[in-house]
Structure 1
Amino acid sequence: MAETTISSLIDKLIPLLTEEAKLLRGIRGEVAVIEKELKSLQFFLKDADARAAAEEDTSGVKTWVEELREVAFRIDVAIDEYLLHVVQHHRRGSFIGFLQKITHLLKSLKPRHKIATEIQEIKALMQEINERSKRYGFESTDHQGSSSAARNITWHDPRMASLFLDDIDIVGIETSRDELLGTLVGGSSHRTVISVVGMGGQGKTTLAKKVYDHQMARKEFPPEGIDSTDKMLVINKAREYLREKRYVVVFDDVWEIGFWGEIEHALLDNEKGGRVMITTRKWEVANFCKKSSLVHVHELHPLLPNDAWELFCKRAFQFDYGGHCPPELEKLSHYIVEKCEGLPLAIVAIGGLLSTKDKTIFEWKNLYDSLGFELGRNPHLAGVNKILSLSYEDLPYNLRSCFLYLGMYPEDYSINCVRLIRQWIAEGFVKEIKNKTLEEVAREYLNELIHRSLVQVSEVDFDGRVRICRLHDLFREIVLQKMEDLSFCHVLSKEESSFEGRTRRLSTDGVSYNALKGFEDKHIHSLLLFDLDELPKSFMITFFANFKLLKVMDFEDAPLDHIPEDVGSLFHLRYLSLRNTRVEMLPKSIGKLQNLETLDLKQSLVSDIPVEIKKLHKLRHLIAYYCDYKEDYSLSWQKGIKIQKGIGCLKDLQKLYHVELNHGGVDLIKELGKLRQLRKLGVKNLTKETMRALCASIGKMNHLESLDVSSFSEDEIIDLQSISSPPQCLQRLYLQCCLEKLPEWIPQLQHLVRIRIFWSKLSDDPLKAFQNLPNLLDLSISNEAYIGEQLHFQKGGFPKLKCLSLKDLNGLYSLTIDEGASPLLESLVIGPSPQLKEVPSGIQHLRNLKDLRFFDMPKEFEESLDPEQGSSFWIVEHVPIIYLRHKIGTGYYDYEWIRILHSKQINQNFL
């Protein structure tokens, strides 16, 4: 574990000694010596860590490793404090008078001398530690990093990560799934509790999800959610909503016996076949429900040998040998699988690890020997933890830090991957690779963790990229322990009133702000706040004044309404998120954050950005817009930010959305053309007068991947044809404006994967312009984007389209889909379209269609879909689920669903 710490520190010192050497004036020599000493130790750290971790170690190696980590911590803090003092000195020297400058110099001499003395002491200590290392006879490695995987990471197509969404459940659970599904959709009309019992890592949650997501369950129980953290509110809402409905409610990972006693009164036995599914590790929880309900208990058992072997091979050989084990590795592979004793999580983890290894007997025997007998102790969580730790130990040091970072999020938290990636970059975990952005490299890191089965995929985007991920409970236990051992992070939980130790990072999970008040370690680098009760203004002022080494501050969803001027003193700050807070204004001192890379203001109340932002030359992401979800969808539904002149100075900016163009005029738009690194741009309130200037600026953005253009009003006619050189990298195009005619350059953009047009009032069929785009996956034509009467999907068109939405097309009279058009379409949304009286001809050809939704369609249209008597039901009968949704009030929809398979067929399938 010292390897991770030391390697990260070396990565920090190298650019300081080269690119920013002037900041180290006066101590550069000492820092260079320290770096040299660290590098000389780096080659022995793999062996040192392994010996320190051994339980039988009595040689003092463990103490030596701990001392080394402690010195590394001191180095990190000392360098950061020195840089902070140097910068503060330069700032004051530039703006105050001579007498004030002399006063400041006198005041700063003492702390600078103190830090310089600290660095001298550290240098001497490093030399002593290095000398002492010789007595232990460490074995040297011929590379930097932690394993063979570190020097040979195989990067995969980002979209492949979506293949792992349900990978763990594809082997050995079919019988369990069918048994539970039969109980779920058939059986007694009385309320029945289905309990799935098994130890951690056996796949209880996966099995429950597989049953719940099955099309048979979805037909019987349409999805519905109640969003609240108030227990009594949830109970009352649930009781009222479920009174007259057949329902299924799933409670995952229940630990407390008393849980059922608290919740059962909300789940009425209305004799309509209600079902409650519970997953738990405790038999007591499963049996407790028998007192008041019919109960079906299903115990998960270890995988059968054949299933365990199949799962292992699919993981270990997922990228080669067609998922089959080569003959020379069969004997070793069987030994490894036998040691796992049928525990899916262990099989998946070790298989994922081996998938990154060379397929040689030597490499695999080394791994098998390191497993020892621990793999055979799967009934005990401690044994499983040691097994799973092997996957962590095999990670390259930079991926170790990334993996540990997931532990800063609460248990079972749905982690937004973009948020995580930006935090990794801010922490300095991500290394630059030629011809790739840091964000692209970080995405590869994430996919590597997914392929190693260390991170679970919760949700993928339409293009297959992972959008939401999570950390498995068992892995999280490992991560929490390692974070504490390394002083990497401390998670302040509800059970703690304060924390007096030392750590680099702090995360809170449901604590009072009083616990933060008692936190005295002023050297923390990162702060993530979750489920905090309050953040008073007085506390925030004190906090910003004291914790000046912060790099990451994430206040997302925090009860925050004020950012004090002292935020400008955070020289090292790289990531600041005020997303979904009540903050209305940014102080002018924001311009002093010269290392800031991400400023996230989404769903905050900030509407104006101070002109001082032009000083943030390292800013990469500026996200600032607010959506009023109480309003009907319109051009005013989403509001951007007002930016002053000077935005063109931000040469590193990659994402900028959304900007209100009616407050900066043509000059502001021309400055946008200077942002040559932009990947994503969103602009609001475009007018005829500013249109041509915007087109000229967009033509200079060669790296642009996402463009969102919105006009000032629905009647403002916008002509985007004047973009002479449209960005050839463009992947996503959103046009919310009156066009009358589509730009002729759209068919040239071969990389487009998503197109969404609104209020465009096109009279010509737009499908002709889109149908030959080779990579288009998602198309939406909505809100009078097309005012014609007919849409025709021609044979051979839209070869990769997966999602199609045709909403609020009031003039649409006829929709035809030729056989061979959109062969891969999975989701289709239509309506409201009051003139479309007949079910579109050709839906029967869409054999991959899984989700079909109609909104507020005419009465005769809906009647024709009746499964018993509808004249057009045959057109859609192959679709698993069809929704008919109706507007009730403002912006809300109720729905019905069409039951395709009858109960007789259900019984035949599952009895």
Structure 2
Amino acid sequence: MAESAVSLVIDKLAPLLAQGVQLLKGVHKEVVDIKDDLEAIRAFLKDADSEAEREGASERVKVWVKQAREVAYQIEDVIDKYNTLHVAQHRDRRVFAGFLTKVPSLVRKLPLRHKIASEIHGVRKTLQRIKDRSEGFRFASSEQGGSSNIVLHDPRLGSHFIEDSELVGIESTKDELISLLVSGECQRTVIPVVGMGGVGKTTLAKKVYDSYVVKQHFQCHAWITVSQSYDRVELLRSTVKKLYEAKKEPFPEAFVTMDALSLIDELRKYLQQERYLVVFDDVWEIRFWGDVEHALVDNNKGSKILVTTRNEDVANFCKRSSLVHVHQMKSLPQREAWELFCKKAFKFDFDGNCPKDLEELSQDIVRRCGGLPLAIVAVGGLLATKERVIPEWQKVVDSLDSTMASDPHVENVTKILSLSFHDLPYDLKACFLYFGMLPEDFSIKRTRIIRLWVAQGFVQEKPGLTLEEAAEECLNGLIRRSLVQVDEASMKGIPKTCRVHDLVRDVILSRSEELSFGHVSWNSSALKGIARHMSISKGGSDNPKGSTRSQTRSVMVFCGSKLQKPIIDAIFEKCKLLTALDFEKCPIDEIPEELGNLLHLKYLSLRDTLVSHLPKSIGKLRNLEFLDLSDSLVETLPVEVNRFPKLLYLLGDPKWGGGFFVRGSLGQLELLRTLYVINAGDNHERELINEIGMLKQLRKLGIMNLKKENGRDLCIALENMPRLQSLSVASEGHGVAILDLQAMSSAPLHLQSLRLWGKLERLPEWISRLHNLAKLRLTDTMLMDGDSIKVLQALPNLRFLRFLRGYNGEEMHFEGGGFLKLKSLCLAGLTELNTMIIDQGAIPLLEKLEIGFCQSLKEVPSGIQHLQNLKQLSLAKMSDEFNERLSPNNGQDYWIVKHVPVLQYDGTYDPDDESSYGAWVELWFGQLTKLA
């Protein structure tokens, strides 16, 4: 990881020296020498990092690696101090050139600049000493990408790590657990799933919990992740909240301040008449059952509690007051372990089979994994990136041989995970370690993590790719190596949210502490340390103790309670070199004027906060690239917005919806790629749209309250955006008025997502030319003619189509050969629709069909029987005649849909269930005030 720190600083020095100008008298040459020395040192560091990890490694080597890393940090600090002086005194867009070309005499007269020059001189001397010492070491050479013989630390085990799609051999176990849940005794029953970390307890429990049979059987349900450090009151409150969320009921504010006794009483009353299922995942403490047993009332309705734990004593403790069925999870037998390994290591070649020449080595590796899915997936992911030749695979076997410990299970898991970490290239290491800043069990959006990486400088541009695209490649690399798990993916398979498992996070935290990379504070009143990155997970109530040095580059805050003002003040006063500040979902209501002092800030997120006003000093943040105000209380973007020449992303949709108003000029934001969502409903709409037309780099645009007479101007503006990929447009009055978008002669051909909200006199002709369009949502468009369907079904890459009061014709005909890639179709509020025909060969890949509030439709759509890939059919608020024909009891149309695995319609399931009609209606009708 020292190699990572040095490489990042070299990358940062390059543009400074490329200016070819005089820094300070005598300093420019020293900076050149520093860069040369760093490059020489980097050549040693990959082997030195590995050597420092070896059991019995020389303390001299460890100290040398640490010193190299720390001096790299010092150099980065000096560079940023130069940058601070430039921005503060010259306000020039060019970070270095404007400052560096100023009169030398002015520079020499400023003591602060001389101090910086002195620091450069001191760093140069330190670096030279470190370089001289390196010549005395003789590190064993390792080829790029190879593995060294290393012994790995054994950090505390948090939880197991395994992905659902890669687990083998649990189908029979899943069926057994489902049977235990939906049948058996009427009294309350606890079913502990017991096994060591990495064996797949959570994966099994989640598959059981998500099964349709289980969801239909229980009237209410909740999934609670417990983990090692839980608070009893928070656990009870979280249980209540999850139960309310499952029923789509608002969580009472009174519960926020209740003590444990009151929460237990509320839970007992809530569950008294319900057949419930509660899953408590990752329980460590024996006292756990004592904390929840009285809240989970035994109501003799067949309620169940499923618990995953590593400690069998937890299961035994439950027996004191409840019926218990313990399920022991075992490691995979060799045959299934081999099957899992091949799935991971040879997923994309050799038809999933191991080549004969690698089979002996591979079998040896699988045996050393001890049957643990976590270990198998980790090493399989590592080997999937290796060349399929014996020498490369022998290195991995040799590394495992040299690090075998007395415990062939737990020890090997951490060793294999750490082996994967050490095998990462330097840019991926920094990206991977940043996951340690997230709370335990936290799922983060893909877009959020990659933007944070970019702001930190972890990612370098690659030919043909933007920084964000390069960052996305880094994320995919971590996912492929099984170090990051995808929680949710789009229909195209693109990750939406991801996380690291607890065991992986433990490895990260162990490394981060050693490397001074990250500091995770559970109580921000102890705001201290020298880490480059800080994470605060609780608000604290006291004044901060200690201090954090200026080295800190990013702060992320994850506070469920209000962050106290002294903590906020400390962040702004003591972290002057911050490049990223993330307050997302933190209930802060004010940002101090000192925000303007953070001259290096690139990333600022106030998403889902209570902040309603931005200080004027925000205009000083001339390095700002990411500004996220979505779901905050900020309704109007200040005039200072035009002072952000580097701004790439501007996100803002206030909690009340409708987009934010713009008071400043947008035309100068020439680099802007995302503008989402702005409210055009004021007297300067035309000027605003004309300015938007100057933003030729836009990839995503959202605009609300567009007047009909300004539709032509918007079309002209859109023709100037050749890179546009996502467009959302709503007419005046939240879609009430007519949307006039006909006058576009040159369509944005790269468009992948389109949302139109408002009356359309006809479908815009240019839509037929959107051959890359994958997602189309038409809301309140009230199209009348069947020709619109013919146009849409010819779009070659359309995967998602939604009509929400979007079609007002009487017939909808899906012709054979149409919608060849469509996977999801939603038809809601089509009040005039009385006939729906699906020809054989139409919509062949459709997986989900949702129809609701189509009261004129009396018969089940003809042709559904042709949809052999249909996995879910949801029907809601249809006519009585329609429901009678669909009835499994002599309904004349039931045969058409009986092949569908998941069939949901009125009267067949609990309306409070999360997959029910009620939730479906909320999904499509409950957010009409939101453009997102």
TM-score (ref. length: structure 1): 0.89
Aligned counterpart in structure 2 of residue 444 of structure 1, from 454, 465, 473? 473
**CA 1:223–1:319 in structure 2 vs 1: closer, same or farther (change >3 Å)?**
farther
**CA 1:14–1:555 in structure 2 vs 1: closer, same or farther (change >3 Å)?**
same
Alpha-carbon distance in 2 for matches of 1:595, 1:172: 52
Give how far 1:673 is off: 1.4
Contact between 1:374 and 1:384, CA under 8 Å: does it hold in 2?
no
Code of the aligned partner of 2:214: A
Contact between 2:601 and 2:621, CA under 8 Å: does it hold in 1?
yes
Aligned to 1:652: 671
Consecutive unaligned residues of structure 2, counting only runs of 5 or more, are 95-101, 149-161, 222-241, 246-250, 919-932
**CA 1:92–1:275 in structure 2 vs 1: closer, same or farther (change >3 Å)?**
closer
Alpha-carbon distance in 2 for matches of 1:728, 1:262: 58
**CA 1:209–1:373 in structure 2 vs 1: closer, same or farther (change >3 Å)?**
farther
Code of the aligned partner of 2:700: K
Aligned counterpart in structure 1 of residue 205 of structure 2, from 208, 220, 239? 208
| Structure 2 residue 439 is the aligned partner of structure 1 residue 410 | yes
1:668-714 CA distances to partner (integer Å, 9 max, x unpaired)?
A: 21111121111100011111221111100101111000000001134
Give how far 1:594 is off: 1.3
Question: Tell me, what secondary structure is at the counterpart of 2:776?
Answer: strand
Aligned to 2:226: none
Contact between 2:517 and 2:533, CA under 8 Å: does it hold in 1?
yes
| Structure 2 residue 681 is the aligned partner of structure 1 residue 643 | no
Aligned to 1:601: 629
Give how far 1:441 is off: 1.3
| Structure 2 residue 417 is the aligned partner of structure 1 residue 420 | no
Aligned to 1:460: 489
1:571-622 CA distances to partner (integer Å, 9 max, x unpaired)?
A: 1101000001111122222222111110000000111112221121111110
Give how far 1:238 is off: 4.8
Give how far 1:92 is off: 11
Aligned to 1:123: 124
**CA 1:813–1:93 in structure 2 vs 1: closer, same or farther (change >3 Å)?**
closer
Aligned counterpart in structure 2 of residue 772 of structure 1, from 794, 807, 812? 794
Code of the aligned partner of 1:639: G
Alpha-carbon distance in 2 for matches of 1:892, 1:603: 27
Aligned to 1:527: 555
Code of the aligned partner of 1:746: I
Contact between 2:48 and 2:61, CA under 8 Å: does it hold in 1?
yes
Question: Tell me, what secondary structure is at the counterpart of 1:411?
Answer: coil
**CA 1:705–1:597 in structure 2 vs 1: closer, same or farther (change >3 Å)?**
same
| Structure 2 residue 425 is the aligned partner of structure 1 residue 396 | yes
Give how far 1:646 is off: 2.6
Contact between 2:219 and 2:275, CA under 8 Å: does it hold in 1?
no
Aligned to 1:632: none
Contact between 1:587 and 1:610, CA under 8 Å: does it hold in 2?
no
Give how far 1:5 is off: 1.3
Alpha-carbon distance in 2 for matches of 1:843, 1:208: 33
Question: Tell me, what secondary structure is at the counterpart of 1:64?
Answer: helix
Give how far 1:860 is off: 3.0
Aligned to 2:600: 572
**CA 1:598–1:234 in structure 2 vs 1: closer, same or farther (change >3 Å)?**
farther
1:783-814 CA distances to partner (integer Å, 9 max, x unpaired)?
A: x2111212112222111111111111222222
Aligned to 2:866: 845
Give how far 1:643 is off: 1.6
Alpha-carbon distance in 2 for matches of 1:93, 1:834: 60
Give how far 1:539 is off: 5.1
Aligned counterpart in structure 2 of residue 317 of structure 1, from 326, 329, 346? 346
Aligned counterpart in structure 1 of residue 164 of structure 2, from 131, 149, 166? 166
Aligned to 1:733: 754
Contact between 1:198 and 1:282, CA under 8 Å: does it hold in 2?
yes
1:92-120 CA distances to partner (integer Å, 9 max, x unpaired)?
A: 999xxxxxx99x97998222222211110
Give the alignment of 1:718-797 within 5 angstroms: 718-765=739-786, 766-782=788-804, 784-797=805-818
Aligned to 1:76: 76
Give how far 1:857 is off: 2.1
Alpha-carbon distance in 2 for matches of 1:514, 1:502: 21
Alpha-carbon distance in 2 for matches of 1:772, 1:397: 46
Aligned counterpart in structure 2 of residue 662 of structure 1, from 666, 669, 681? 681
Question: Tell me, what secondary structure is at the counterpart of 2:453?
Answer: helix
Question: Tell me, what secondary structure is at the counterpart of 1:202?
Answer: coil
Question: Tell me, what secondary structure is at the counterpart of 1:372?
Answer: helix
Aligned counterpart in structure 2 of residue 277 of structure 1, from 303, 306, 310? 306
Aligned to 2:214: 217
Contact between 2:583 and 2:605, CA under 8 Å: does it hold in 1?
yes
Give how far 1:62 is off: 0.9
Alpha-carbon distance in 2 for matches of 1:773, 1:345: 42
Aligned to 2:293: 264
Aligned to 1:429: 458
Consecutive unaligned residues of structure 1, counting only runs of 5 or more, are 95-100, 150-163, 629-637, 898-911
Identity of aligned residues (%): 48
Question: Tell me, what secondary structure is at the counterpart of 2:640?
Answer: helix
Contact between 1:168 and 1:206, CA under 8 Å: does it hold in 2?
no
1:839-858 CA distances to partner (integer Å, 9 max, x unpaired)?
A: 22222222222222223222
Alpha-carbon distance in 2 for matches of 1:527, 1:20: 34
Which deviates more, 321-330 or 187-196? 187-196
**CA 1:142–1:375 in structure 2 vs 1: closer, same or farther (change >3 Å)?**
closer
| Structure 2 residue 355 is the aligned partner of structure 1 residue 336 | no
**CA 1:32–1:692 in structure 2 vs 1: closer, same or farther (change >3 Å)?**
same
Aligned counterpart in structure 1 of residue 693 of structure 2, from 673, 687, 701? 673
TM-score (ref. length: structure 2): 0.87
Aligned to 2:715: 695
Contact between 1:197 and 1:280, CA under 8 Å: does it hold in 2?
yes
Contact between 1:89 and 1:108, CA under 8 Å: does it hold in 2?
no
Contact between 1:219 and 1:881, CA under 8 Å: does it hold in 2?
no
Alpha-carbon distance in 1 for matches of 2:376, 2:321: 38
**CA 1:895–1:466 in structure 2 vs 1: closer, same or farther (change >3 Å)?**
closer
Give the alignment of 1:872-911 within 5 angstroms: 872-884=893-905, 895=916
Give how far 1:13 is off: 1.3
| Structure 2 residue 175 is the aligned partner of structure 1 residue 178 | yes
Contact between 1:44 and 1:139, CA under 8 Å: does it hold in 2?
no
Give how far 1:20 is off: 8.7
Alpha-carbon distance in 1 for matches of 2:541, 2:556: 13
Aligned to 1:365: 394
Contact between 2:525 and 2:567, CA under 8 Å: does it hold in 1?
no
Alpha-carbon distance in 1 for matches of 2:173, 2:495: 28
Give how far 1:282 is off: 0.6
1:818-851 CA distances to partner (integer Å, 9 max, x unpaired)?
A: 2222122121211112222332222222222222
| Structure 2 residue 101 is the aligned partner of structure 1 residue 85 | no
Alpha-carbon distance in 1 for matches of 2:825, 2:263: 35
Calculate the aligned-residue CA RMSD, in Å.
2.8
**CA 1:590–1:337 in structure 2 vs 1: closer, same or farther (change >3 Å)?**
same
Give the alignment of 1:35-74 within 5 angstroms: 35-58=35-58, 60-74=60-74
Alpha-carbon distance in 2 for matches of 1:34, 1:386: 36
Aligned to 1:476: 505
**CA 1:808–1:518 in structure 2 vs 1: closer, same or farther (change >3 Å)?**
farther
Alpha-carbon distance in 2 for matches of 1:828, 1:313: 35
Contact between 1:165 and 1:459, CA under 8 Å: does it hold in 2?
no
Give how far 1:884 is off: 3.4
Question: Tell me, what secondary structure is at the counterpart of 1:649?
Answer: coil
Aligned to 1:133: 134
Contact between 1:571 and 1:592, CA under 8 Å: does it hold in 2?
yes
Which deviates more, 857-866 or 656-665? 857-866
Tell me how many residue pairs correspond in the alignment.
859
Alpha-carbon distance in 1 for matches of 2:891, 2:219: 22
Question: Tell me, what secondary structure is at the counterpart of 1:249?
Answer: strand
